[in-house]
Amino acid sequence: MSSEPRMPSLLPTGRTGRFSARSRRKLWREVHFWLGLVAGTTLVVIGLTGSLLVYFKEIDAWLNPQLQIVAAPPAGRAAYRPISEIVAAARAAIPTGAQLGFTYYPRNEETAFWFFYSMGKGSQSGGSDTLNVFVNPYTAQVTGTRVWYSAESPFKNCLMGFIFKLHYALLLGTPGNTLVGILCVFFIISSLTGLILWWPITGKWRQAFLFKKHASSERLNHDLHKLSGFYSLVVLLAVLVSGVYFNLGPQFRWLVELFAPVTHRPDIVGKQQAHGTTISIDRVEEVVHQRFPDGQWFAFSLPPQTSAMPGNRPLPYRVAQLVPSAWGFVGRREIIVDQYSGEILHVGDPFRGRGGDVFIQWQWPLHSGYALGMPGRILVLIAGIVCAVLYVTGIIRWLQKRRASRLAERRRCALPIPMSEARS
């Protein structure tokens, strides 16, 4: 038998390994706690406003039926006036120089076309008003107008416009937009550290998925925080990642392009020089329907009146469709059409194409919940409420631990000093 001494193992095994695991877990707990404490209030605001915005069209129609609700004839959509007439009616209702941003197609047979125009009314901040025009699709008559966003103050927005600004920019303008994007990154980290803390390192998986029976109020609060976060994690991550895309678009696309190419759609312009007569939106509708009869029109935008890019290249029409799939998913397809030739210049399809483009194309359906239809929208609504639940239960959990720590400290200070220590 060899008498050589054995070298001690450098691997963290036994109690040392367990201590190392506990140390890492403590680190993740600290990260999770401080992210929640510092940014949790804004998460509540963003989450609850996001829940409302899942159904912003329905809520707005309920609050303003005189603007949006129309009487549908028996023929339904077949009785629509040509879209060119509807666009002309909206244009006639706003001041000269206003620029059409985009238009929501009616979501059902009883709602109007919903136009968004940038008014170009300057403010001290250099912003502009955004005006809504609503047009009855059966009569091509304007049912009303209003200010969606006010350049003077977000408090002069209509209610849903105010909630949108609060949701994606915390009413702080462009800096707020960037801040919310950064906060979304923090919330993603917080969600992932929460998953690490949920993970049952003891192997008690059944306990990890269920509330403990006959538990104390402290344990009930702990389980509510843990399980609400776990069961909503997939939806929360989808909403948070897509939130980064909307608020930090260039940075998000740069990151995606590290793995797959992405088409920069704003750079897509007509292939010919700007000349001749622009085709009508009616013709665009025909072209899109012939190519993609499976899609439901969701929104469209027209080429701006000053539509030539540098080099006299014309800007195109843009159409968004909702596209159902055989697997139950609903994607959003973007179609870009040349304004002179009617040629389809680009198709952003959620089910086919380059990986980067497909990934980008899914961000809006995931963020809005449309990706799973009505069940998906309900899940996103619940996820927004869960944000508030996580924050409140997290604060309660912190207060409980703080109180327990103080009680333990008092008890320790109240213990009698051993005689041996007193003599020394």
pLDDT in tens, 204-217: 888 889 998 888 88
CB atoms under 10 Å from CB of 137, counted, come to: 21
Q: What pTM does this model have?
A: 0.86
Residue 379 corresponds to which tokens in the numbers above?
A: 């899940």
Cα-Cα end-to-end distance for the chain: 49
Longest dimension (CA), the chain: 105
In this predicted structure, what is the pLDDT of residue 5? 45
What is the chain's pLDDT, residue by residue, as a tens digit (424 residues)? 444 444 444 444 444 444 566 788 888 888 998 888 888 899 999 999 999 999 999 999 999 999 999 999 999 999 999 999 999 999 999 988 888 999 999 999 999 999 999 987 554 445 789 999 999 999 999 999 999 999 999 999 999 999 999 999 999 999 999 999 999 999 999 999 999 999 988 888 888 899 988 888 888 999 999 999 999 999 999 999 999 999 999 999 999 999 999 988 777 877 665 566 889 999 999 999 999 999 999 999 998 765 455 555 678 999 999 999 877 899 999 999 999 989 999 999 999 888 899 999 999 999 999 999 999 999 999 999 999 999 999 999 888 888 877 887 777 787 665 655 555 5
In this predicted structure, what is the pLDDT of residue 271? 66
8 A C-beta contact, residue 68 and residue 60:
yes
Beta bridge partners of 114: 104, 134
CA-CA distances (angstroms) from residue 400 to 111, 278, 362, 394? Answer: 51, 68, 41, 10
Sign of the CA dihedral with 246 first, then 251, 253, and 259 last:
negative
What percent of the chain clears pLDDT 90, i.e. is strictly above it?
64
Q: What is the C-alpha separation between 93 and 103, in angstroms, rounded? A: 15
